[in-house]
Structure 1
Amino acid sequence: MGLSSSLASAMSGLRANQAALSIVSSNVANSQTPGYVAQSPNQIEVTTGAFGSTVTTTGVSRDLDTYVQGQLRTETGGGGYADQMANILKQLQNVYGNPGGSGTLETALNDFTSSLQALSTSAGASSAQTVAVAAAQSLAQQLNLTTKGIQSLRSNVEQDLGTSAQQANASMQQIADINTKLQGLSSSDPSAATLMDQRDQAINTLSKYVDVRVVTDGSNQANVYTNTGIQLVGAGLASKFSYASAGALTANSLYDSNPAKSGVGAFNISLPNGSSIDVVANNVVSSGQIAADLKLRDQTLVQAQTQVDQLAATMASATSDKTTAGTAVAGPPSGFTVDISNAAPGNSVNLTYTDTATNTQRQITIINVTDPAALPLQNATNANPLKVGVDFSQPMGSILSTLNTALAGTHLSFAGSGTTLRVTDDGINAASVNSASVTKTISTLQSGNAQLPLFTDGSSALYTGAITSSGSQMTGLAGRIGVNAAVVTDPSKLSIYNTSPVTPAGDTTRSDFLYTQLTSSVFSYSPTTGLGSSSQPFSGTVSSYLQQFLSIQSNASTQATALQQGQSVVVSTLQAKFNSTSSVNLDSEMSNLIQLQNAYAANAHVMSVVQSMMNTLIQAQT
């Protein structure tokens, strides 16, 4: 090796040491900077001649584990989802209150049934009547307050969706802008490293709101997708969430894929190519805070509302509906007749039959639906009972045609005249009709029946469970339910159920009936409450149903909190693992600094030796 090449090598070493020293200095200075990734110099050997080589610094490397980084982003999305679910479900528990505490549905129902028992015990004393009416009003008011609390939570979630959309949009635009700045820059360029730190921070922020999958191409452009394949960010282009809030929500404010029918805020994503996608209908997001908000708004809290609506509807129907068994028809074919006259919209004919081929017992509920736009009724697969809608006010011929067509596969046959409907098997012994009954809502207070419209839709409207094109009367009933104004004005109606002959003093028929209906009678509840299934709906007393859905909500809140805590541990663990490689380690940097100092001194000493040798050569030649 010649002296000149030795000098060149030493000088390149000094330059490399200086570059490395700058990087160490940057690492130390940014050791507390959020999102800063520690850097290392990229050094390569360069041949200078027959012997030896020089060194050159080609840029920097960011010290990060991309696999752990991807896992961290995935779990950050899960953390955002878990945090929001746990937060809202905990607030929902506060709406229900502590079991056995004052101001809860459980306590209000118990107080009302206790007041009915006391009314019977006191043989209908006027003071007991007044107490019972007050207890009924308190129960109705508690249902109103519960609905208000649930819809307040839905409205808060609706508002949060707008805020989250803005935050996500800001992050996506920042990523796109940085992509533009990185165009033409090598990933090892020191200025690129700073931009990539900023881009990673923006992607991490975005992952809190939506699930992200990042693909970096050969030109150092980060392409961000959701797990469903929707591109959020490309090379210099960003998608944008658009949200049109519907304001304060009510129980009737429900999502519909048809924007004209939807009662909640429209949540779409506009892609760079100009197309717009419904985020909910297309399941664009599966994790993150936005996914949690959408599930809470459109599913979890809607189901919670359905549960209290079902409670209100069951209470109203239990006290006002009268079921009359059908009259047996001697066969063959055998069956029953029922009278459908004076049936209100929502009233029904209930059938039970056995499929003799499989020896399976099935149920059919024929519902009086007077709005043709609501027909045909939709049933889940294997629904039991199977619901069929028909307008009872139509001529009998039209009713029979509808039923025989809709239930053609059941081997049942419908006939009748006037207002009498007859159902039998079709004569081939493939089905056996076990029972038939008709349920009608008693609309007056002194009909001679124990039933009365005690709980109403509002202060006076009759609750019958009517179904229209806009939905079921049950939807939102818990927020509207009240005590019949006529009963509030005259509490004696809780005891007097007939005028001719007049109900005798001390007669407890009505109060006994009300107490039994609300404490002992068994009812079936809609699978939309989250209890039971379409083939096996949950059945139980009013109080057991209340206890069941309160228990489900409590368990859901507990599980959400446990998931939140577990997710927090996972995120913290991954963050620590990521930091172990990407964050600045001051001990390591100080060690690097000492090595650089020694290397610098060694290179400088080489230069000094080369200079001395050159001086010797010059002196020898002279």
Structure 2
Amino acid sequence: MSLSASLANALTGLTASSRRAEVVSSNVSNALTEGYARREIHLSPQSLGGNGAGVQIDGITRSVNVALLADRRLADAEAGNSGMRTDFLARVESLIGSPEDAGSLSARIAELESALVQAASRPDSQARLQSVVDAANRVTGHLNALSDDVQQARMDADDSIAKQVETLNDALGQIDRLNAEILAQRASGRDATALMDERQRLVDRVAEIVPVREVPRDRDQIALFTTGGAILLEGNPAVIGFNPVGVITADMTIGSGALSGFTINGMPVPSGDDGVLGGGTLGAATAIRDDLATGVQAKLDALARDLIERFETPALDPTLAPGQPGLFTDSGLILDPLLEEGLAGRIRLNTIVDPAQAGQLWHLRDGLGAVTQGNVGDATLLNALTTALSVPRVASSGSFIGARSAAGLAADVLSGIASARQQEEFRQSYTVARQGALTELQLADGVDTDAEMQQLLLIEQAFAANARVIQTVDDLIQQLIGL
């Protein structure tokens, strides 16, 4: 081999060693960078006229465990979904309160029952009658606040859906542009791995909102499909449509057309958590708005209806005229069974017994329809009101089983929500554990800094060997010149 050929071979070796050192340096410095994939440099021998001509760099590739990455993305979506659902149910459960809590819904009803008993023992006491009014107002106020909070949660979910759809559309557009840039980089022979890292980060963001499967295409392009079967990116990015509303009331549902569903490229698609865009945080927000919150509202409305019906019968208060509301009202009116949606937010104490609303306390003792006061020592009606509150009866609506007292019905509402929360927490603990395990596996499959440093030592040796060849060739040339 000639001196010039030896020099050329050594120079290619130096170039390759230098490039390998850059790759190792990049791997080590980005070991904890989100979305970064370990780089691998590929070398091969090159020849010239059948003779060895050193080494050539074939390219740099990203080392990615595709199956593990796909599973981790699905785990991210499931963990986000279960987390949002659990948080909502826990929030409602906390607002209802445990029966042993002084400010809980069950405790409010128990306070009302206790106030009625005390008033019946001294029907002439204005203070005890006022205690009944105050306790009753606390019951209705608690139900009103719960209903308002449930509707606020629906509005928050609707706003979250709008923001997530905007993020989803932006991310899909950026991924499409990165596909084009990666294609251009490949066509010009430049390294596109950094662009691929950024694309992976964007796909990870999409996967948290909607669980997706990434499908590789020719020339390092990718397509995205949801696990529900929708095409998000195939050549061109899909456009997800959604129209948020400003205010949501209990009677507004997606079925009535008052709330917006989803469209993909202008075509309506199923919008539930089990629809084509369900399974991630977007599906969880949809479930809260259209399923979980409406289910909670229905339970609260059934409880409010039961309270109204317990005191609305003429057999309880003979002074009540037909069409006259009882102790509790629907915003001052008699109950209309066909307008139950949102009743928990409209239930009110009858103003006729509330001095704060120009009423008279003696109506609690003498009858809501009484024209004049009766015997101040007569506790008949107060005893009847106490019995009506505590007697077991089958609720007219809701999915309750068996006869319950008012307090028992409130406990059933809490029990149903607590049971749903516990199920979601169990699911969340599983999904979070799975997410953590897959994340650890992905990190372990990523950059191993110890291995990279060992590789750097080998590169250093190769660099030194090639430098030694160049030094030797230089010495020989100097000797030839000196002859």
Q: TM-score, normalised by structure 1?
A: 0.69
Whether contact under 8 Å (1:239, 1:269) holds in the other structure is: no
The 1:232/1:613 distance shift into structure 2, 3 A limit, reads same
Q: Alpha-carbon deviation of 1:234?
A: 2.4
Instruction: Give the aligned partner of residue 327 of structure 2.
Output: 454
Q: Alpha-carbon deviation of 1:58?
A: 1.0
Aligned residues: 476
Instruction: Give the aligned partner of residue 163 of structure 2.
Output: 163
Select which of 355, 364, 367 maps to 1:494: 364
RMSD of the alignment, in Å?
3.4
Whether contact under 8 Å (1:154, 1:301) holds in the other structure is: yes
Q: Alpha-carbon deviation of 1:270?
A: 3.4
Instruction: Give the aligned partner of residue 514 of structure 1.
Output: 385
The AA in structure 1 aligned to 2:166 is Q
Instruction: Give the aligned partner of residue 289 of structure 2.
Output: 297
Higher relative contact order (CA 8 A, sep 6+): 2
The 1:78/1:610 distance shift into structure 2, 3 A limit, reads same
Q: Alignment partner of 1:103: what SS? A: coil
Q: Distance in 2 between the 1:66 and 1:187 partners?
A: 24
2:342 is the alignment partner of 1:476: yes
Alignment of 1:333-352 (within 5 A): none
Alignment of 1:97-496 (within 5 A): 97-122=97-122, 125-186=125-186, 191-235=191-235, 237-256=236-255, 261-264=256-259, 266-271=260-265, 275-277=267-269, 279-280=271-272, 283-321=275-313, 446-447=319-320, 453-459=326-332, 461-465=333-337, 467=338, 473-488=339-354, 489-496=359-366
Q: Alignment partner of 2:59: what SS? A: strand
Instruction: Give the aligned partner of residue 90 of structure 1.
Output: 90
Q: Alpha-carbon deviation of 1:243?
A: 2.9
Q: Distance in 2 between the 1:305 and 1:113 partners?
A: 24
Q: Distance in 2 between the 1:539 and 1:203 partners?
A: 53
Q: Alignment partner of 2:392: what SS? A: coil
Instruction: Give the aligned partner of residue 573 of structure 1.
Output: 437
Q: Alignment partner of 1:191: what SS? A: coil
The 1:560/1:282 distance shift into structure 2, 3 A limit, reads closer
Q: Distance in 2 between the 1:269 and 1:232 partners?
A: 12
Q: Distance in 2 between the 1:320 and 1:136 partners?
A: 15
The AA in structure 2 aligned to 1:157 is A
Instruction: Give the aligned partner of residue 406 of structure 2.
Output: 542
Gap regions ≥5 residues in structure 2: none
Cα offsets for 1:219-267 (capped at 9, x unmatched): 32211111111111223x22233332211322222222xxxx3333x24
The 1:501/1:233 distance shift into structure 2, 3 A limit, reads closer
Q: Distance in 2 between the 1:499 and 1:218 partners?
A: 86
The 1:221/1:276 distance shift into structure 2, 3 A limit, reads farther
Cα offsets for 1:37-64 (capped at 9, x unmatched): 2211012244556676743211112122
Gap regions ≥5 residues in structure 1: 324-441, 468-472
Q: Distance in 1 between the 2:99 and 2:5 partners?
A: 87
Whether contact under 8 Å (2:99, 2:411) holds in the other structure is: no
Q: Alignment partner of 1:244: what SS? A: coil
The 1:480/1:52 distance shift into structure 2, 3 A limit, reads same
Question: Which has more helix, going by share of residues?
Answer: 2
Cα offsets for 1:72-120 (capped at 9, x unmatched): 1111111221232233233223322343333331121111111222233
Q: Distance in 2 between the 1:112 and 1:188 partners?
A: 80
Q: Alignment partner of 2:348: what SS? A: strand
Whether contact under 8 Å (1:60, 1:188) holds in the other structure is: no
Cα offsets for 1:505-540 (capped at 9, x unmatched): 6444433332222212221353xx4x45xxxx4542
Q: Alignment partner of 2:131: what SS? A: helix
The AA in structure 1 aligned to 2:258 is G
Whether contact under 8 Å (1:158, 1:293) holds in the other structure is: yes
The AA in structure 1 aligned to 2:293 is L
Q: Distance in 2 between the 1:130 and 1:500 partners?
A: 20
The 1:511/1:600 distance shift into structure 2, 3 A limit, reads same
Q: Distance in 1 between the 2:82 and 2:187 partners?
A: 35
Whether contact under 8 Å (1:445, 1:493) holds in the other structure is: no
Whether contact under 8 Å (2:41, 2:60) holds in the other structure is: yes
Cα offsets for 1:124-173 (capped at 9, x unmatched): 65543333233222211221112122222222222222222222222111
Q: Distance in 2 between the 1:551 and 1:520 partners?
A: 20
Which range is displaced more, 60-69 or 243-252? Answer: 243-252
Question: Which has more strand, going by share of residues?
Answer: 1
Which range is displaced more, 73-82 or 38-47? Answer: 38-47
Q: Distance in 1 between the 2:12 and 2:379 partners?
A: 107
Cα offsets for 1:416-471 (capped at 9, x unmatched): xxxxxxxxxxxxxxxxxxxxxxxxxx9x861499x961111112x11141x2xxxx
Q: Distance in 2 between the 1:187 and 1:276 partners?
A: 38
Q: Distance in 2 between the 1:125 and 1:608 partners?
A: 112
2:481 is the alignment partner of 1:604: no
2:394 is the alignment partner of 1:523: yes
The AA in structure 2 aligned to 1:494 is L
Q: Distance in 2 between the 1:457 and 1:173 partners?
A: 50
The 1:250/1:56 distance shift into structure 2, 3 A limit, reads same
Q: Alignment partner of 2:34: what SS? A: coil
Q: Distance in 1 between the 2:30 and 2:60 partners?
A: 15
Instruction: Give the aligned partner of residue 68 of structure 1.
Output: 68
Q: Alpha-carbon deviation of 1:279?
A: 3.2
Instruction: Give the aligned partner of residue 589 of structure 1.
Output: 452
The 1:51/1:615 distance shift into structure 2, 3 A limit, reads farther
